[in-house]
Amino acid sequence: MRTLKEMKVGEIGAVKKVNGEGAIKRRIMDMGITKGTEIFVRKVAPLGDPIEVTVRGYELSVRKNDAEMIVMV
């Protein structure tokens, strides 16, 4: 299984599953990252944190720790 953290700049993928529990999972889902949502990786910071993605038509920065919880297809 591949996570959002492992995706390269310019790749597009769909969310298969969001791992995690409680408040962390809820926060990720509140950002619009839910099962089936397409995510485009726009940029990655020089040290790899954060990752800038396009989700549902808007830009979003996601920390590496959160990106590890997002399983992609």
In this structure, what CATH number is given to the domain that contains residue 11?
A: 2.30.30.90
Is the pLDDT at 49 greater than 90, yes or no? no
Which pLDDT does position 1 carry in this prediction? 82
pTM: predicted TM-score of the whole model, two decimal places: 0.86
pLDDT at 9 over 90: yes
4: DSSP letter: G
Range of the structural domain that residue 36 is part of: 2-72
Which residues touch 13 (CB under 8 Å, ≥6 apart)? 2, 4, 7, 38, 39, 72, 73
Work out how many domains the chain is built from and give that number: 1
Where does the pLDDT of residue 63 fall: very low under 50, low under 70, confident under 90, or very high at 90 and above? Answer: very high
Pairing of strands 12-18, 2-3: unpaired
Average pLDDT, rounded, for the chain:
93
pLDDT, residue 72, reads 95
Residues 6+ apart with CB under 8 A from 49: 63, 64
- pLDDT recorded at residue 67: 93
